[in-house]
Amino acid sequence: MNGFAALAPLLFLVGGAILVLLLGTRRNGGTNSVQAAVSIAAIAAAGFSAARLWGRAVRAFGGQLRFDEAALFMTFLFLLAAAMAVLLGMRYLVRHAMPRGEYYGLLLLAACGLVIMTATINLLIVFLGLEVFSVSAYALSGLNRRDDRSAEAAAKYFLIGSFASAFVIFGLALLFGTRGSLDVHQLALPETGGSSALALTGLALVVSGLAFKIALVPFHMYQPDVYEGAPTPVAAFFAAAPKAAGFLVLLRILVPHFQTGIRNEAIIEFLSAVAVATMILGNFAALRQRNLKRILAYSSIAHAGYMLIAVISGDPAGLLFYLANYLFMGVGAFAAVIALGGPGREILDLDEFAGVGRRYPWIGGIFTVLLLSMAGFPPTGGFLAKFYVFSTAVRAGHLGLAIVGVLTSLVSVYYYLRIVRIMFMKEPERELDVDTENPAVYLVLFLCLYAVLQLGLFPGNIITLIRQATASL
């Protein structure tokens, strides 16, 4: 029965998804809160069963599905992101007349795919999880069928995502052909003979495919369009969860390489170039945007660049801490966008936010704290995360990367604080019609505020958890 214990988190998620989908087909439309409650219950049950697996290294399916502590830590992040996305969606779906059962169901399935992706060391299972997530994600981003931009986002995401999947599967074929296994520990065995170049090509293709999902720079171009077009609660989920999964898989692939030192230089040089390009392009492109969702999209690209520094300097703890922080900053920022939305219409243009902070001081204040955290100001978690990443990079000898990181963070302060300035210091041209009857969104906002401050001021508990998680890698 050991195997079923390992399956329990996935079973709860899938069971909840099916139940919610079937509930969504009932004719009386008033079941929104019931569906949300069922989704939250499924997520809570999955979280509880995942918590029971902590420290037991449980495996299923002959070791193919293995919940080590790193996978469990990520599972908690995904479940938190999914739960917050459910809460964010409750009012938003009604406001925009979107299908509800499908939203909650697909969200749970997407979370399930991400859990599969992280809870394995076999790259083929990673691919399986990636596809479970991706197929749900394509449908989620096109869920607002009346909106042309939502359809555009879905089409773009689908096409680019299919390319990424093809990259991964081709890379896997090359790796399997040269190494005879897709186990990450087998991939880093010492090279013999002439298959080395082929294996490296395979590795590069797999990493490129993951870079699509994380949105690192040469592969980032779909991200702003998808964030802009997709329904905002979906964008909130995308901002944090798939990036976290992609980074953990990247870490699992690269850590054995860093330990054995084979092809180390080539990999580090390649990743350093990507990290520098990601930080510079993400931050400078965000300067020119007027649409709030696009700013947040470019900012999430930039943050992926900082997180990549943690991967390069071989610092799993710093990466996980950054990911945990970014989960709350990213979801919280999108929650603020939803909280400031009007009935039937979202407010996205920067100029329209003039004076909002003074009319709605709580929303504006929390949004400000989250933006300061993203920029890396001291009392918040964002500062500590960046501090850990950059200081480890310096200690690992990547001084140049740390300098680029700090400088681009300074650039990012400008566009984060510009939002704050417009919210609080600019006179509004006309009154905004904001829908304030939105308690679930306020809950998410306060949760994010609490988490960002907790992680910034008293990070001790979570760092203990992260230490245990990274020890299992």
Partner 1 sequence: MTLALVFLIFGLLGAVMVSMNALLGPKKTNPVKEQPFECGSPPLQKGIPGFVIKFPLVVFLFVLFDIEVAFLFPWALIFREMKGPAFLILLAYAAVLAAGFVYAWRKGAFRWD
**Interface contacts to partner 1, rule CB under 8 A:** 14, 18, 21-22, 25-26
Buried b (16+ CB within 10 A) or exposed e, 373-393: bbbbbeebbbbbbbebbbebb
By beta-carbon proximity to partner 1, the closer residue of 24 and 129 is 24
By beta-carbon proximity to partner 1, the closer residue of 23 and 336 is 23
Minimum distance from residue 36 beta carbon to partner 1 (Å): 19
Q: CA 206 to CA 230: how far, in whole Å?
A: 26
By beta-carbon proximity to partner 1, the closer residue of 21 and 473 is 21
By beta-carbon proximity to partner 1, the closer residue of 14 and 350 is 14
Minimum distance from residue 326 beta carbon to partner 1 (Å): 34
By beta-carbon proximity to partner 1, the closer residue of 68 and 102 is 102
Closest CA to 30 of 82, 93, 105: 93
Closest CA to 463 of 354, 340, 322: 322
For the CA atoms of 90, 92, 93, 95, the dihedral, rounded to the nearest 10 degrees, stands at 120
Q: Please name the residue that has the structure tokens 């990507």.
A: 274
By beta-carbon proximity to partner 1, the closer residue of 14 and 36 is 14
CB 322 within 8 A of CB 288: no
Residue type, 367: F
By beta-carbon proximity to partner 1, the closer residue of 18 and 44 is 18
By beta-carbon proximity to partner 1, the closer residue of 22 and 407 is 22
Minimum distance from residue 17 beta carbon to partner 1 (Å): 10
Strands of 94-211 (E only): list them: none
By beta-carbon proximity to partner 1, the closer residue of 112 and 420 is 112
Minimum distance from residue 25 beta carbon to partner 1 (Å): 3
Minimum distance from residue 142 beta carbon to partner 1 (Å): 16
Strands of 16-55 (E only): list them: none
Q: Please name the residue that has the structure tokens 């980032």.
A: 220
Residues in CB range of 204: below 8 A, 6 or more apart: 171, 270
Minimum distance from residue 73 beta carbon to partner 1 (Å): 29
Minimum distance from residue 108 beta carbon to partner 1 (Å): 14
Read off the tokens for 189.
């065995």
Q: CA 181 to CA 467: how far, in whole Å?
A: 29
Minimum distance from residue 19 beta carbon to partner 1 (Å): 9
Closest CA to 111 of 92, 91, 88, 129: 129
By beta-carbon proximity to partner 1, the closer residue of 109 and 385 is 109
First to last CA, the chain: 25
SS3 of the chain: helix, strand, coil, percent, to 5: 80, 5, 20
SS (H, E, C) 408-458: HHHHHHHHHHHHHHHHHHCCCCCCCCCCCCCHHHHHHHHHHHHHHHHHHHC
Minimum distance from residue 3 beta carbon to partner 1 (Å): 11
Minimum distance from residue 239 beta carbon to partner 1 (Å): 29
Closest CA to 46 of 89, 5, 101: 5
Minimum distance from residue 1 beta carbon to partner 1 (Å): 11
Q: CA 353 to CA 376: how far, in whole Å?
A: 23
- Beta-carbon count within 10 A of 459 CB: 18
Which alpha helices (DSSP H) does 313-340 contain, by range?
A: 316-339
Per DSSP, the residues of 140-173 read: HHT--TT-HHHHHHHHHHHHHHHHHHHHHHHHHH
Minimum distance from residue 101 beta carbon to partner 1 (Å): 9
By beta-carbon proximity to partner 1, the closer residue of 15 and 365 is 15
By beta-carbon proximity to partner 1, the closer residue of 18 and 411 is 18
